[in-house]
Structure 1
Amino acid sequence: MAVDSPTGRRTQQERRERTESALITAAAELVVETGLRSLTLARVGERAGYSRGIVNHHFGSKQALVEALAHATQTGFVPGIDRIAPGLERLLAVVERYIGALGGVTVINRAFLLLWAEAATAPELTEIFRDRDEGFRTRLRADVEAAIAEGSVRPDTDPGDVAIAIMGQLRGIGLQRLLDPDAIDTERLRHVVAAQWRRALTMSD
């Protein structure tokens, strides 16, 4: 006699996760192609090869879908950073790897940059991306503080100012890359920008 085993339940969960991943990818593609305003559950379902009912079943509303997309786009942009100890080298690795990642940006990462830019005028995104940005700045500040403590960065450096400046620079480069990919040589630029920050943080006035 067949038994409804834990393995069966895991298979059902895997199917659900695959469906949600396909819907998120479809939503990201549509955001990149036509923007957030034109995103609908029906269009997402059609792009992913499912019915609108499936999209409703998984997310319930456009707002829930947008929130899921926003959270999905915010993961994994700069992998491997957590394996580096906090301090100057990790800070510079974030700068270098972030710009390097822009050279092979995926549809999910493109959607992230577009949604981030749109968050300034889209209330459904503002809080999500405000929290994300604060988390990014917090990690950057922590690296600057650790670098000051270890003596590799000038003690008169303001960690908060550096965090704001680095995040603004990285996001700005990302948006330029979206607008004019051929104008941004990410392989060269990632080394240039990291070297500039090393000099700025370690040189005396």
Structure 2
Amino acid sequence: MAGKREQNREQNRQALIGAVLDSVAEKGISETSVSEIIQRAGLSRGMIHLHFGGKDNLVQAAAHHSSEAYYDGLETLLQTAGDSPQERVEMIVRGDLSERVLNQRNVSIWYAFRGEARNRKAIAEYSDTRDGRLRGMIHNAFARIVREAGTPDASGAARDATHGTLALLEGMWTDFLLHPDRFDREEAARIVFRFLAAMFPAHFSLAGAIRPKQGKRGCNSSP
């Protein structure tokens, strides 16, 4: 019996979180009222207070859920990547620009939460371009690349590559938000990899294909 109650509890929580995200995607946060949420979830008003203590906590939980879903997908992709740091960077870039991640619903939700970030610090951590978790993944990969390449000012090069990559990806999300019908995913990836190939020509090609290694340090020089 206890197991069944816990299952129902979790189902109700997920229904409320899903209702918030659906409403935010379609109407924005300002129009995501308690009435809207319970109508979409098919639950009573009291369920919000029972499971979350109020609407604000529910919205925060929805922002957290959206962020975790992004990282769960990213971790799944990274499990299919090779061991090299450049393969991990490529997988992150292509995953971030994929239709599964970069779509109208996800972009609408992310920018809606981001609009609340200034006034709601609890939400800010889930919509920050300087998100430590994503930044750490990318920076660790670039740190390995600059060590392998013997790049002068290795820490500065890894930092700049990280910041530049994140800035370009955010720009692509903004472009998709404003021009979804004209957005070209391959063109977006090519722009990011053009930047990376300019910084690390021995590790990245313009098309985003990882350069095959020849010996310990040698690399194929053709794109």
Which interval holds the TM-score relative to the shorter structure?
A: 0.7 to 0.9
- Counterpart CA distance in 2 for 1:170 and 1:75 is 19
Q: Which structure carries more relative contact order (alpha carbon 8 Å, separation 6+)?
A: 1
Equivalent residue number for residue 60 of structure 2: 67
Task: Provide the alpha-carbon RMSD of the alignment.
Answer: 2.8
Task: Name the count of aligned residue pairs.
Answer: 195
Calculate the TM-score normalised by the size of structure 1: 0.80
* d(CA) in 2 for partners of 1:43, 1:135: 32
Calculate percent identity across the aligned residue pairs. 23
Segment of structure 1 superposing worse, 45-54 or 112-121: 112-121
Please state how far the C-alpha of 1:61 moved relative to its aligned partner: 1.4
Could you say which structure has the higher helix fraction? 1
Query: After the TM superposition, which parts of structure 1 deviate over 6 Å for at least 4 consecutive aligned residues?
Result: none
Deviations 1:172-195 (A, max 9, x none): 211321222112022x23541353
Q: What does 1:134-149 correspond to in 2, within 5 Å?
A: 134-149=132-147
The residue type equivalent to 2:183 in the other structure is: I
Asked if structure 2 preserves the Cα contact closer than 8 Å seen for 1:96 and 1:194, the reply is no
Partner of 1:195: 193
SS in 2 for 1:101: coil
Task: Measure how far apart 1:42 and its partner are.
Answer: 2.7
Q: Which runs of 5+ in 1 are unaligned?
A: 1-7
Q: Aligned pair 1:166/2:165, yes or no? A: yes
Task: Give unmatched runs, 5+ long, in structure 2.
Answer: 203-223
Whole-Å separation in 2 of the counterparts to 1:109 and 1:10: 36
Normalising by structure 2, what TM-score? Answer: 0.74
Supply the distance in 2 between the matched residues of 1:195 and 1:60 (Cα, whole angstroms). Answer: 46
CA distance in 1, matches of 2:100, 2:115: 16
Indicate which of 36, 47, 70 corresponds to 1:43. 36
Say whether the 8 Å CA contact 2:88–2:141 is kept in structure 1.
yes
Q: Does 1:19 align with 2:17?
A: no
Q: In the alignment, is the contact (CA less than 8 A) between 2:23 and 2:37 conserved in 1?
A: yes
